[in-house]
Copies of this chain bind each other. A is one copy, B any other.
Amino acid sequence: MTSVEEPARPGERIRDAARTRAEILDVATQEFARAGYDGARVDEIAAHTRTTKRMIYYYFGGKEQLFTAVLERAYGVIREAEQQLDVDHLDPVAAIRRLAELTFDHHERHPDFIRLVSIENIHGAEHIAASEELGRMGSPALDVIRRILAAGQESGLFTADVDAVDLHAMISAFCFFRVSNRHTFGALFGRDLVDPAQREHYRAMLGDMVIAFLTAERTAD
């Protein structure tokens, strides 16, 4: 995230709206991800900031809107990563694998994002619904998938006639679950899905799974 670090001279009151706002967002992201929406404490967020609780209400209006802003930024980050993806020079099989790995890597690097999304789902995605920004912005990943699928299906490489949204769900499911359910899965089955030593194993497994699905001979249709 875009953490702001400025040498705060003690006793001096420096005014910087953008910095204060950004700092609140940074800390709020951590706190919400740590404890969930209701478990998060506004006072705790303020305490980890160089400003006071008053500023949270000044800039965001309330806990609810703060969480929405946190979500907006977190989704913005993954969208940026997706936009940077360039797979037009790859053949469909390699392109799909690359895309899947991007999702895999992003989810692994941003467990806070995963937690925020889990939390938002517990609350019925009401903050996304309340956010204009989140409704507006589409998904670059979906566009990429659409193009790869079209190419793969046209060339006959891909036998499955899935649509982009479903394929995105399949990829996301694997990547998301690995991080989101790490703790219960580990406690129940004694295997840490996010163990760094197993990282390449699962990354390959995801690619193999998606490619196998897309290229399998259909027995009967």
What is the size, in residues, of chain A's interface with B at 8 Å between Cβ atoms? Answer: 56
Main secondary structure of the interface of A (DSSP, over half): helix
User: What 0/1 pattern do residues 134 to 170 of A give for CB contact below 8 A with B?
Assistant: 1100010010000000000000000010100110111
Q: Are B184 and A165 in contact (CB under 8 A)?
A: no
**A117-140 toward B: CB 8 Å interface, digit per residue (1/0)?**
111111111001100001100010
In Å, the complex CA distance between A96 and B202 comes to: 20
Give the Cβ gap from A82 to chain B, nearest Cβ, in Å.
13
| Alpha-carbon separation in the docked complex, A80 to B100 (Å) | 35
Shortest beta-carbon distance from A22 to chain B in Å: 24
Q: With the chains together, A139 CA to B185 CA distance in Å?
A: 11
The reply on A81 being an interface residue by CB < 8 A is: no
Q: Which among B122, B134, B188 is the interface contact of A115 at CB below 8 angstroms?
A: B122
